Structure 1
Amino acid sequence: MNNFSRLFWGEWQNLFTNKTIRNIIFIVPLLYLTLFGFLYGEKKVMHIPTVMVDADQTELSRELYRAFEADQTFAISAIVGTEEEAMKQIDQGEANVALIIPADLEKNVKAGREAEVLTVIDGSNMMISNTAVRAANTVVKSVSAGATLKKLEAHGGWGEEGKNLYTGIDYRYRVLYNPTFSYMSFMVFGLAGTVLQQVLFLGIAISVTQQKEAGTWRNTMENYSFWAITASKLLPYFLAGTLNMFLGFTLLLKVFGIPYYGSTVHLMLVASAFNLAVLSIGYAISFFSKDQLQATQIAMLIAVPSFMLSGFTWPFISMPAGVEAIGKSLPLTYFLHGVREILTKGHGLAQVSSDMLVLCLMAVLGLFAAYLTYLGQTRKKTSPARESAAV
């Protein structure tokens, strides 16, 4: 066997005998692909929360209601009396689409005058806005075509005379928050949050394990309290993560000129809560990992699919319940929702208070898990010493 064959065969055997490498190569891809298969199982965005304003109250407006209800793209969640009420629901995130049916719609249709139906769409998620625009246009045109045929049949006119009897219903739409359908305004914020999360995750995840590998971790636990170790570990990464957030979003908003409408101070407050959550979870991972490689694996297992599961691109309304639950257990989900609410919609802290609360809770749970692991490791290291002292 020549040198190349020996090297190749050795590495081939190592690929299957080394548990860590085997899991990375064969298990992790299958896990991700299975998860993404379930994630996009609906195949398209469906059941978009829709609020309706029916100022016409006629058979034609009820037919439009039935048509939107029958189309699986929409789910009419409320019927309100005014356009202002509908806009409030969209602004608060209770609905993504508002169907506005004006007064005298049926009267104008029968008289052959101009008649139109308006949909107002939340454009902060382009998957929702693109789907809603196309689907609403199809629904309105279908109802319009059906009404046209009924009118023509009633008058018996199919030539030029028939064309003048009915003009149809014009479809109009207005997109809020991202009216130009800009992918830069839509995608870059999410990708920025994902990158900054991964950097922070990897940095803190190896903070304890590198000491374990160097053989200094036991001495650190014997000479310092948990909270002293925690503060010394987390504070440098928190400051570095906050600086990265500030520089990253300054670059996006000021240098690349991405439009934004909310307060950058509010953004940094949400970012601080997010950094604490990520650091606490990564710190806990570092505590119960035996070495840097294992800590990196676990951190990446969480960080890599976070963006796909965050609801930022593919909405939660089109996810299976189990996948949605996973997405809502990740800190990136709440940070990106906060970014969207503040920068894209121009909202204040009141609209992101629940996101900050969940992130702070995640930080507490992460520190608690690290503390329990610390206690377990401390007992393991002190028990042999006690036994030898007793002897």
Structure 2
Amino acid sequence: MPRTLWLSWGRILAVLRKELIQLRRDRLTFAMLVGVPLMQLVLFGYAINGDPRHLPTAVVALDDGPIVRSVVSAVENSGYFRIVATPTEAQADELLARGEVQFALVFPADFTRRLLRGETPVLAVLADATDPAATGQAVAALAMLPQVALRAELTGALALRAPGAAPFEVRVHKRYNPEGITAFNVVPGLMGVILTMTLVMMTSMAMTRERERGTLENLLATPVRPLEMMVGKILPYVLIGYGQVLLVYAAARLLFQVPMAGSFVLLSAMVLLFIVATLAVGFTFSTIARSQMQSMQMTMFYFLPNMLLSGFMFPFRGMPPWAQAIGEVLPLTHFLRIVRAVMLKGSGLAEVAAEAGAIALFALAAGLVAMRRYRQTID
């Protein structure tokens, strides 16, 4: 048998040793191999929850009697609702529009009087249905509320009702997405997801490509300043980002009939702000990575928590507090709220100003880090 067909375990072990040494030197790749599985394990095991509870709820109690207080107590005891405000009806509408509460319970002024007369008063429940997954289980829990809320109070003559008749009616009004169409929630969010995935990767590879091809020396020999270099590198990708947004927006309107209740000009301005923040992250990665492969690895490491903790795939309020705190740092979290608020709720600048401020602050921080790391020398 020819000698070339024989395997030498000594040579194999030598190559294996060489690969292990190279892997040890490539710390970023080693961190990806260990960090990504650990991140997925922690996020999917602890942070992801498809059945959100303790959702922020406002109570508009035009009738503040003991019967109403018992119903509110039963609502909280269900575990799905957390009373955070007792506003007027107009204020409750504003809280829903800004996304500060998920539900608003409205008790009419004659709620107790009608119930004691043997009539069936109506408890109106206003629900922010922009994300159907976040409200589905809570709305289902409300269906059992009339049968269990007033068991202790309705005794004696008050209990003399027709068999199976509920003491009051729960009437749910789903705002912004009455039919609970998932596409109305997912498709607008794809704007931010696609921008995050593509722009960070393309921008992070821009500088590393220059370094690998040896053309970075020519750039460093010019009097171009760090800010000028950064702006010049990201401007083409701003146009690319707008092209992607227009494509998603056209598909949302034509294929999925997603409504556009707000201002397209406002949406465009918020898109520009988010693109700048995203490109600043990519430029920062390009100053850290030594190769295009490392740029791709860092992009995926950044993209994974954005996907899982922003509220795109899973209800944001279903996550534990520590996961929500991480999600609040990510610009995609705030951009998703802006897009859904403008397109589905018709929100204006005042309603999305806080979210826009968070994105602007992130963009400023990422830009400062990128310019600080950028050096006008190869080393």
Structure 2 length normalisation: TM-score? 0.87
Name the CA distance, whole Å, in 1 between partners of 2:110 and 2:183. 40
Aligned pair 1:204/2:203, yes or no?
Answer: yes
Aligned pair 1:276/2:276, yes or no?
Answer: yes
Aligned pair 1:110/2:109, yes or no?
Answer: no
The offset of 1:281, in angstroms, is 1.0
CA contact (8 A) 2:126 2:175 kept: yes
Name the CA distance, whole Å, in 1 between partners of 2:171 and 2:81. 17
The offset of 1:294, in angstroms, is 0.9
The code of the aligned residue for 2:119 comes to R
CA contact (8 A) 2:51 2:134 kept: no
Structure-2 change in CA distance of 1:135 and 1:167 (3 Å): closer
- Greater displacement, 70-79 / 290-299: 70-79
Aligned pair 1:141/2:140, yes or no?
Answer: no
Structure-2 change in CA distance of 1:327 and 1:14 (3 Å): farther
The offset of 1:260, in angstroms, is 2.4
The code of the aligned residue for 2:36 comes to V
Name the CA distance, whole Å, in 1 between partners of 2:6 and 2:359. 54
The alignment partner of 2:235 has SS state of helix
Name the CA distance, whole Å, in 2 between partners of 1:357 and 1:285. 23
The offset of 1:11, in angstroms, is 9.3
Post-superposition CA distance 1:34-61 (Å, at most 9, x none) = 1332313x67312211111222332211
The offset of 1:367, in angstroms, is 2.2
The offset of 1:311, in angstroms, is 3.0
Matches within 5 A, 1:348-367: 348-367=348-367
* Higher relative contact order structure (alpha carbons within 8 Å, sequence separation ≥ 6): 2
The alignment partner of 1:206 has SS state of helix
- Greater displacement, 102-111 / 175-184: 102-111
The alignment partner of 2:297 has SS state of helix
| Equivalent residue in structure 2 for 1:74, among 58, 75, 81 | 81
CA contact (8 A) 1:125 1:312 kept: no
Post-superposition CA distance 1:135-191 (Å, at most 9, x none) = 22233331155555x246x77x7xxxx637965222211110011000110112223
The offset of 1:2, in angstroms, is 5.4
The alignment partner of 1:49 has SS state of strand
Match of 1:126 in 2: 132
CA contact (8 A) 2:128 2:174 kept: yes
Structure-2 change in CA distance of 1:338 and 1:2 (3 Å): farther
Aligned pair 1:84/2:90, yes or no?
Answer: yes
The alignment partner of 1:163 has SS state of coil
Post-superposition CA distance 1:345-378 (Å, at most 9, x none) = 1011222222222222222222221221123x63
The offset of 1:315, in angstroms, is 4.3
The code of the aligned residue for 1:37 comes to G
The code of the aligned residue for 2:125 comes to T
The alignment partner of 1:191 has SS state of helix
The alignment partner of 1:120 has SS state of strand
Name the CA distance, whole Å, in 1 between partners of 2:360 and 2:92. 32
CA contact (8 A) 1:129 1:175 kept: no
> Would you say how many aligned residue pairs link Structure 1 and Structure 2?
370
The offset of 1:199, in angstroms, is 0.8
Structure-2 change in CA distance of 1:93 and 1:222 (3 Å): same
Match of 1:188 in 2: 187
| Equivalent residue in structure 2 for 1:37, among 40, 45, 49 | 45
Aligned pair 1:347/2:347, yes or no?
Answer: yes
The alignment partner of 1:99 has SS state of strand
The code of the aligned residue for 2:53 comes to M
CA contact (8 A) 1:309 1:324 kept: yes
The code of the aligned residue for 1:190 comes to G
Name the CA distance, whole Å, in 1 between partners of 2:352 and 2:279. 20
The code of the aligned residue for 1:185 comes to F
Structure-2 change in CA distance of 1:333 and 1:43 (3 Å): closer
Name the CA distance, whole Å, in 2 between partners of 1:167 and 1:219. 79
Match of 1:175 in 2: 174
CA contact (8 A) 2:183 2:256 kept: no
Structure-2 change in CA distance of 1:101 and 1:8 (3 Å): farther
The code of the aligned residue for 1:276 comes to V
CA contact (8 A) 1:49 1:97 kept: yes
CA contact (8 A) 2:146 2:166 kept: no
Match of 1:238 in 2: 238
The alignment partner of 1:208 has SS state of helix
Post-superposition CA distance 1:170-223 (Å, at most 9, x none) = 221111001100011011222332122211111101000011111221331121
Name the CA distance, whole Å, in 2 between partners of 1:167 and 1:266. 46
CA contact (8 A) 1:54 1:101 kept: yes
The alignment partner of 1:304 has SS state of helix
Name the CA distance, whole Å, in 1 between partners of 2:267 and 2:354. 14
Structure-2 change in CA distance of 1:14 and 1:171 (3 Å): farther
Structure-2 change in CA distance of 1:176 and 1:166 (3 Å): closer
The alignment partner of 2:51 has SS state of coil
CA contact (8 A) 2:147 2:166 kept: no
Post-superposition CA distance 1:46-80 (Å, at most 9, x none) = 22111112223322112112212323211111223
Name the CA distance, whole Å, in 2 between partners of 1:139 and 1:145. 11
The code of the aligned residue for 1:278 comes to T
Percent identity at matched positions?
28
Cα RMSD of the aligned pairs, angstroms, is: 3.0
The offset of 1:111, in angstroms, is 2.7
